[in-house]
Amino acid sequence: MIKIEIPGVGLKQIEHLVLDYNGTLAIDGNILNGVQEKLNILASRLSVHVITADTFGKAQDALSVVCCQYLRVPDNCDQTKFKQEYVKKLGLDSVIAIGNGANDALMLKDATVGIALIQKEGAAAKTIANADIVCNDINDALELLLSPLETEQLEGLRQITRDNFYVNLPMIMEIIRGKKGMPADEAMRIASSVIQETLRSMDNAIEPGTRDVLVGLLLKFEPEILERLRADFLSTDLKKRFDSLFLLRSMNSVRTASDILQQALNDSNKLIRAAAVKTLGTMARKKEPAIIVTYLKDADSRVRANAVEALEETENKNSVSVLLRIKNDTNNRVRANVVKALWSLGYHDVEKDLKEMVTSPSELMRASAAWVIGEIGIESQPLAQLLGRLDRDTSPLVSTNYYLARKKIADPSTRQKGKKRGSAGKGFKAAVVKTSQVGIEEKASKYFRILKLRGRLNAYSMIPVKLRIQEMLALGSQNIAFDFEGVDDIDATFMQFLKNLNKKIRGMSGKFMVFNTQKEVMDILSMNNVDGFVLIFSADEKVDHLL
C-alpha cells in the first residue's frame, strides 16, 4: 500500500495498480525502457495487474521479469467492460488505473485515480475526459507513484530516528557519508529535525553531556541554525519565538544563544519571560542563582512560579532563605512551588504553610495544597492528616487533586522524581472518573470523529477522554479531532497525552488535530511546544474545510 495526495481529490491509500499493455507499457508490443524496473519497485508495495488483449503476442514474455498479475482478455470479449469489472472486483477505492485507449475509459473513470497517457500514438478523447491526471508517457506516470513511496521511506527513517535516535545515529551517519542509498542532504535534514524536536521538548530530561553532544551534531548538520533562530526570536510570530527559545535553551554554552536568552528575560511578553526564566535553572545548575532571584518579584505570577522552579533546579541550598521570604505569595501556584522547592532543598518545616493552604477559602489554593503534598509524597502522619481534610471537599478541582495526591503517594513513579513502590488500590480509576468533571461530547464530520471537550484538562480528566478514545479506535475510527472551545486550562500530563495520542494515531496511518483552541490555552500549548508535535488550530482559524 502507498499513500498519494491528488490535488482536488485528497489523500488516497492505494493497494492495486492496473495497467493496459500496448500503448501504455509498450509501443507496437515492445515494452518501453525503464518500465520493468519501475514496476518491480512499485510491486514491493502494490499489487500490479496488467490487462491486455496482447495483439502483438509479446506481452507475456516481456512481463515475465516483472512481479505482476498478467491477464489476457478473452477473445470476442468486450475489453472495455472486462477491464471495468476487473477494477470493481479489486475495490474501486484502492485502485489506480493507467491507460490510453478507448477501451480504458471506464476503468479510469471508476478507479479512485485514473491516469491517461498520450505517448506517441495519442490517447482517446473519452479516456482523457475520464482521467484524474494526464501524463505524457508511462515513465512520467510511474514516477508520480514512486515519489510518495520515496517520501514514505524518508518519513519511515524520520520515525525510527525519532523513536530511537541514539540506536539509529550510526545508520544516519553512514547515509550522510554516502555509504547508503539515500541522499546525504535528506538524511542530514531528517537528523537535524529530529535533534531539534528532542532538544525542544519541555518533557525531555536529557543529561548535560548528552545534550552537548546533540547540540554539537546539530551545529554540524545545520551550521547556520543559530542565525536562523536569532531571526525567528526577533520576529513578530509568537510561535516562532517560542520554538526558537525552547531550542536555544539547550545551547546555553553557545554565546549567541546566551545573548538571546538574556533578551528574552526582559521581553515585554509575559509568556516569553516565563519560558526564559524556566531555562535559567538548567543553565545555572549549581552556580550562583542571583539572576533568577530578580524574577521572583515579577508582576506576572507565571514568571514568579517559573522562577521558583528554576531556583529548585539549581540545587543550591543558599536559595532557601530567598524562598522563605516569598512563601506567602498570594498566587496558589507560586506558593505551592515554594513549598515543593523548600522540601526539595532540605527545608522540611512546611506543615504550617500547608495547613494555611488546606484551610484557605480559595479552591485554587486548596487544590495546590493537595498537589504539593502529592509531589512531596511522604506518608508522614502530619501530611496525611492535612491531605485527609480535603477528602470531602465539594470542589471538583480539589477532589481531583486529592485523588491525584493519593495516587502519587502510593506510586512515586507518577511524581516528577522517584521510583515505583506500589499501586493506588482498587476503585481508584472509578473515583477519578467520577471527580474529573470533564465534559465530553462526541460527533462526526466528513473526515473525522470529533470529541468536544469542556473544563480543565489534567491527569484525571485525561482518563475518561482516554477511555473514549480507546472505544473509538476499537470501532475503527482512525481520524480523530479534539474541539477545545470549552477548555479553559490544560496541565503537563494532558499535554504529554496529546503528543502520545498524535504519535499513536499517525502510526496507524490516521490523522489527529486540535481546533477551536482559546487564546490562553493556545499560549500554554505554545509555551510547552506541544504545537511542534501536534496539529493545533486557534479559535480564530477556520478548519471547516479540513473536517
Q: What contacts 24+ positions apart, CB below 8 Å, involve 133-142?
A: 133/6, 137/32, 138/24, 138/25, 138/32, 138/35, 138/98, 139/32, 139/34, 139/35, 139/38, 141/98, 141/115, 141/117, 142/35, 142/38, 142/39, 142/42
Global pTM exceeds 0.85: no
2-148 and 438-538 share one CATH topology? no
Identify any residues that bridge with 51 across adjacent strands, giving them in sequence order: 20, 71
Distance CA 15, CA 153 (A): 17
For the chain, the average pLDDT equals 78
**Residue 373 burial (10 A CB sphere; 0-12, 13-18, 19+):** buried
pLDDT in tens, 251-307: 655 555 566 777 777 777 777 777 777 666 555 554 545 667 878 888 888 888 888
Per-residue pLDDT at 377 = 78
pLDDT in tens, 49-102: 999 988 888 888 888 878 888 899 988 889 999 999 999 998 888 899 999 999
In CATH, what class is 2-148? alpha beta
**Residue 245 burial (10 A CB sphere; 0-12, 13-18, 19+):** buried
Residue-range domain boundaries for the chain: 2-148, 438-538
Per-10-residue mean pLDDT, the chain, length 547: 68 87 89 85 82 88 84 89 92 90 92 88 88 87 72 49 51 54 64 73 56 75 80 78 74 60 75 71 54 80 84 82 90 91 90 92 90 82 86 80 80 49 45 60 88 82 83 85 88 86 84 89 79 83 80
Per-residue pLDDT at 310 = 81
Distance CA 6, CA 148 (A): 11
Fold (topology level) of 438-538: Transcription Regulator spoIIAA (3.30.750)
